[in-house]
Chain A
């Protein structure tokens, strides 16, 4: 990073666009391609614009587009609009009651002030491997709704992220919403996270959901943050657990399996071993909780 480009006092000038329909936004984004940056809540984009790593020639502010915000029950499941503020998710009773793991994930994002600005779509599309809402959505079998110049498409979250900061979104495409399928509404959920305190300390988070029958696992999802280039699921651990009764030995085995399955960078600062150890604890915690009545 060029320290002389880093200036958090100001933004540099850009061409500003504020489309009022999805169609208009898509057209604009297709035309401008890599010269445009989408601005939603701004909590990620504005930081990047200030540190010199992002100097877009065009900024497309999508907040004026109606119909992209809110939490609605639909036949497919719960729909969450891309422009829904994180604070709205936090304060939504239906989210708290039905998708507790999403509720737990978003209420730790930033601060009250950040949550009043940040949008769930921005959190997802910024595609940090630590993106809290994305990890929760991954554990909820969520599906991303995308609109682009070639029409609409749906992409399951397990396929949405392609690398750190990268998604399947093509030029001109816009995430319009997320749908969480009806089935997972009744599942149990558990969220755990160790937050950063300095560059030496790793962030690691786990969103776990499970459909239980007594102490037997019928279905389970284990989604992790900051243990790989993108949010990831440990499907091998899920496969191991499916159909099993959660006893101490099974929980321990799953914990060890999870620790060896996550892919954190084993850098010189040995964050790898730390994360693996914490991951074990998270799994123990989650499964012990699922095993309770």
Chain B
């Protein structure tokens, strides 16, 4: 018997809350779904990149003669637009730091593209790359944020552009952010217990299964068509317009299914502007799919060094905290400045702090540029907080779960959401029920006493909780753009076309939108067609990130569905000779139609198909609406984990015995897919805690794993617990601002996991760790030290 989806509330909806066969499902299971890497065009050239072999070097000259002799086209820095840009356009200009070029004349990390070739086959392109010769002048390189900030260190960038001004990043400091709230000094005096610790996170690679790909076709009118691995077609178009100056109507970016992303395509990928430049030069379609080893060097998560001090009273009330954060962002900025603000927001939104102070700095190093990775700093912050909360609870002498229950920020309270300029009040919160229920299932209060076990195998039980914002919505505009748009129109057969620019990475967000529309219009779900679209045929959607797909995107779909509903009502009233306001909607599964009827009057009804028929033949027009929507809030969705592990003190191996996961995502729209987000987020969190590490060889500047996936392990099927040992339950609250009460889920699923794992290991061994990953070697070394071996 599987203990799976136990819903707290029953759903009375037609399709919301019901499991359905996803609309893109058949294509995916039959192999017919075409991802960007599957596309090809006649006459297409294969492009390959020349990548820097050095972590910091001037590219004095690229000799292309030998490559050209082989018949290949070449592309060097002098041939591309001489502009600086930021590949991510989610922030407003005052928060968008531009330090990228299409092809670099000074490489700042091993693997940075400095030139490109294109040929008829990949084999020829590869030989052409090997025929290129580069004159480099090597420069000092830094792989550690403390090293690159030292006085006298060589500056990696000389001029960053920020909204028309030039910034000189001295000491390799890319950006800083300091915040304070409340009377911090007075608050420290109130504390009975204080804990101060330093935490170092790991650097993780997304291992999104589809490597970055792009196909560009130059059009006869001087424009381009683009298919790429992107989380935002509109920002892709905007950026290409900014860089190449082509009129926007001539840049067409198509939606293509994405083989997952986890944040690595929020920014336009490095390969896209290069491919556009090559296509414009050669006047032929150009395709590039990154090899895995190129992809591994292309993007990575941020890593941080946190110094945190937290104080509480002996009655278990948390009082005050100070956080010093050093953000190692690698060699180029994608969204570092925004992240500094978000990190503060994640920290202070977990538990109530009467006063808090925060100092943060983003630092350049000669490593792969960091980008968002599911949670955008929240997994790292939550790991730190959930670990130190356990430690502080121990010091005070209160149970860690009770400590959480006493201090978590919940319903009715203000939370910072996506940083200090975005504050809103929490209006739905299932944290207490979630924690208490999970605690009961695992018999929390009877768990082993930390450090009391001996022998080879030691069992531990740990807990952790977290949240993430659903979107970056807010009542007032801030530095993060967040709105979606939708087009909904009625077809002559009574079905609905839903057209949105919003991308689905696979989690099922578009499935949810279809259900929201079907629910609002009272249609069978099959009558809602989710249309594949492009930048010409959609209105703006900022990006699928920040767990905003359902909450914001679905919110826009709902808004427009309501507008279409009113138009349908008006036409129906005309046809039924009735008061529009007295008409109701219902779904007719037999006729497979939406029906509008006059309540209580038999026979006075009309189907959507009949409305469409009249609208066309009587020249009333198409029933359609297009609009945009910004959510006035970014309500937190909450998760909790209770994890049991067994540590083998002879090898340092940690075995996962049991997981009990709880989630409050408001109304659950796609039950099995929502559970799937929890399962997947958990696996990534487990992996973050015990397996993943992208470390650098300071002698070569290259990754220790040399780009080999063999040496960057993530969980395989055998690494996850058995079905009966992985339980997921939802506490269904109703979020008043969410479509049918829904919130997001994607990032909350991951955020608290690493901290929970660390707490479980601490319970098993009586040892706390302050550096990720908790690898076998690290654990074994700590056990040996503790036991005096």
Residues of A within 8 A of B (CB): 1-10, 12-13, 51, 194, 196-202, 270-271, 273-274, 277-278, 280-281, 284-285
Residues of chain A within 8 A (CB-CB) of B122 are 7, 9-10
Given that A4-B130, A274-B780, A277-B780 are known contacts, is A199 also in contact with B775, CB under 8 Å in the complex?
Answer: no
B 704-762 contacts with A by CB, 8 A = 704-708, 710-713
Q: Is the CB of A277 within 8 A of B789?
A: yes
In the complex, which residue of chain A has the Cβ closest to the Cβ of B121?
A10
- Give 29 A-B contacts (CB < 8 Å), ordered by A residue: A3-B53, A3-B297, A3-B707, A4-B50, A4-B130, A4-B132, A6-B706, A7-B48, A8-B291, A8-B292, A9-B289, A10-B122, A12-B123, A51-B706, A51-B708, A196-B710, A196-B711, A196-B713, A197-B690, A198-B693, A198-B773, A199-B704, A199-B705, A201-B777, A270-B781, A273-B781, A280-B650, A281-B650, A281-B651
| Interchain CA distance A1-B292 in the complex, whole Å | 16
- A51 nearest CB across to chain B (Å): 8
Given that A199-B711, A200-B695, A278-B651 are known contacts, is A6 also in contact with B291, CB under 8 Å in the complex?
Answer: yes
Q: How many residues of B contact A (CB 8 A)?
A: 46
Residues of chain B within 8 A (CB-CB) of A197 are 690-691, 713, 775-776
In the complex, which residue of chain B has the Cβ closest to the Cβ of A194?
B651
| Interchain CA distance A281-B776 in the complex, whole Å | 14
In the complex, which residue of chain A has the Cβ closest to the Cβ of B709?
A8
| Interchain CA distance A196-B123 in the complex, whole Å | 32
Return the CB mask of B78-118 against A: 1 if under 8 Å, else 0: 00000000000000000000000000000000110000000
6 A-B pairs with the lowest CB-CB distances in the bound complex, closest first = A281-B650, A199-B704, A197-B713, A274-B777, A8-B291, A199-B711
| Interchain CA distance A9-B51 in the complex, whole Å | 16
- B698 nearest CB across to chain A (Å): 11
Q: Does B301 interact with chain A (Cβ within 8 Å)?
A: no
Q: Does B293 interact with chain A (Cβ within 8 Å)?
A: yes
Residues of B within 8 A of A (CB): 48, 50-51, 53, 110-111, 122-123, 126-127, 129-130, 132, 289, 291-293, 297, 456, 650-653, 690-693, 695, 702, 704-708, 710-713, 773, 775-777, 780-781, 784, 789
In the complex, which residue of chain B has the Cβ closest to the Cβ of A285?
B650
Residues of chain A within 8 A (CB-CB) of B129 are 4
Q: Is the CB of A200 within 8 A of B291?
A: no
Residues of chain A within 8 A (CB-CB) of B652 are 274
Residues of chain A within 8 A (CB-CB) of B712 are 198
Q: Is the CB of B702 within 8 A of A3?
A: yes
| Interchain CA distance A200-B780 in the complex, whole Å | 13
Residues of chain A within 8 A (CB-CB) of B653 are 194
A1-B706, A198-B691 given; 17 more Cβ-contact pairs under 8 Å: A3-B51, A3-B293, A7-B48, A51-B293, A51-B708, A194-B776, A196-B713, A197-B775, A197-B776, A198-B712, A200-B693, A274-B777, A277-B650, A277-B780, A277-B784, A281-B650, A285-B650
CB < 8 Å: which of B51, B692, B710 contacts A4? Answer: B51
Residues of chain A within 8 A (CB-CB) of B291 are 6-9
Q: Is the CB of B123 within 8 A of A13?
A: yes
| Interchain CA distance A7-B777 in the complex, whole Å | 32
Residues of chain B within 8 A (CB-CB) of A273 are 781, 784
CB < 8 Å: which of A2, A6, A9, A200 contacts B775? Answer: A200
Q: Is the CB of A6 within 8 A of B780?
A: no
Residues of chain A within 8 A (CB-CB) of B293 are 3, 6, 8, 51
Q: Which of A3, A7, A274, A284 has the most CB of B within 10 A?
A: A3
| Interchain CA distance A198-B695 in the complex, whole Å | 10
- B80 nearest CB across to chain A (Å): 19
In the complex, which residue of chain B has the Cβ closest to the Cβ of A278?
B651
| Interchain CA distance A12-B705 in the complex, whole Å | 23
Residues of chain A within 8 A (CB-CB) of B123 are 10, 12-13
CB < 8 Å: which of A6, A13, A201 contacts B776? Answer: A201
| Interchain CA distance A284-B651 in the complex, whole Å | 12
In the complex, which residue of chain A has the Cβ closest to the Cβ of B291?
A8
Q: Is the CB of B781 within 8 A of A198?
A: no
- A225 nearest CB across to chain B (Å): 15
Residues of chain B within 8 A (CB-CB) of A199 are 695, 704-705, 711
In the complex, which residue of chain B has the Cβ closest to the Cβ of A199?
B704
Q: Is the CB of B651 within 8 A of A4?
A: no
- B537 nearest CB across to chain A (Å): 33
| Interchain CA distance A271-B713 in the complex, whole Å | 18
| Interchain CA distance A152-B775 in the complex, whole Å | 48
- B287 nearest CB across to chain A (Å): 12
| Interchain CA distance A5-B293 in the complex, whole Å | 11
Q: Is the CB of A2 within 8 A of B650?
A: no
Residues of chain A within 8 A (CB-CB) of B781 are 270, 273-274
| Interchain CA distance A163-B159 in the complex, whole Å | 52
CB < 8 Å: which of A3, A51, A202 contacts B777? Answer: A202
Given that A7-B126, A10-B123, A194-B653 are known contacts, is A201 also in contact with B775, CB under 8 Å in the complex?
Answer: yes
In the complex, which residue of chain A has the Cβ closest to the Cβ of B706?
A1
| Interchain CA distance A10-B123 in the complex, whole Å | 7
In the complex, which residue of chain B has the Cβ closest to the Cβ of A2?
B53
Residues of chain A within 8 A (CB-CB) of B692 are 198
| Interchain CA distance A278-B130 in the complex, whole Å | 44
Given that A3-B111, A8-B291 are known contacts, is A198 also in contact with B775, CB under 8 Å in the complex?
Answer: yes
Residues of chain B within 8 A (CB-CB) of A201 are 775-777
| Interchain CA distance A199-B51 in the complex, whole Å | 23
| Interchain CA distance A4-B652 in the complex, whole Å | 37
Residues of chain B within 8 A (CB-CB) of A202 are 777
| Interchain CA distance A7-B47 in the complex, whole Å | 13
- B574 nearest CB across to chain A (Å): 61
| Interchain CA distance A271-B704 in the complex, whole Å | 15
In the complex, which residue of chain B has the Cβ closest to the Cβ of A197?
B713
Residues of chain B within 8 A (CB-CB) of A277 are 650, 780, 784, 789
| Interchain CA distance A285-B650 in the complex, whole Å | 10
- A268 nearest CB across to chain B (Å): 11
Residues of chain A within 8 A (CB-CB) of B789 are 277
- A67 nearest CB across to chain B (Å): 33
Residues of chain A within 8 A (CB-CB) of B650 are 277-278, 280-281, 284-285
| Interchain CA distance A3-B129 in the complex, whole Å | 11
In the complex, which residue of chain A has the Cβ closest to the Cβ of B697?
A199
Residues of chain A within 8 A (CB-CB) of B292 are 8
In the complex, which residue of chain A has the Cβ closest to the Cβ of B110?
A3
Q: Which of B653, B775, B777, B789 has the most CB of A within 10 A?
A: B777
| Interchain CA distance A284-B706 in the complex, whole Å | 36
| Interchain CA distance A3-B132 in the complex, whole Å | 13
| Interchain CA distance A106-B708 in the complex, whole Å | 23
| Interchain CA distance A198-B710 in the complex, whole Å | 8
| Interchain CA distance A200-B775 in the complex, whole Å | 8
| Interchain CA distance A10-B289 in the complex, whole Å | 12
Residues of chain A within 8 A (CB-CB) of B289 are 9
Residues of chain B within 8 A (CB-CB) of A3 are 51, 53, 110-111, 293, 297, 702, 707
Q: Is the CB of B53 within 8 A of A4?
A: yes
In the complex, which residue of chain B has the Cβ closest to the Cβ of A52?
B130
| Interchain CA distance A102-B292 in the complex, whole Å | 33
Q: Which of A6, A12, A270, A281 has the most CB of B within 10 A?
A: A6
| Interchain CA distance A51-B126 in the complex, whole Å | 12
In the complex, which residue of chain A has the Cβ closest to the Cβ of B687?
A197
| Interchain CA distance A201-B53 in the complex, whole Å | 26
In the complex, which residue of chain B has the Cβ closest to the Cβ of A284?
B650
| Interchain CA distance A45-B761 in the complex, whole Å | 40
In the complex, which residue of chain A has the Cβ closest to the Cβ of B693?
A198
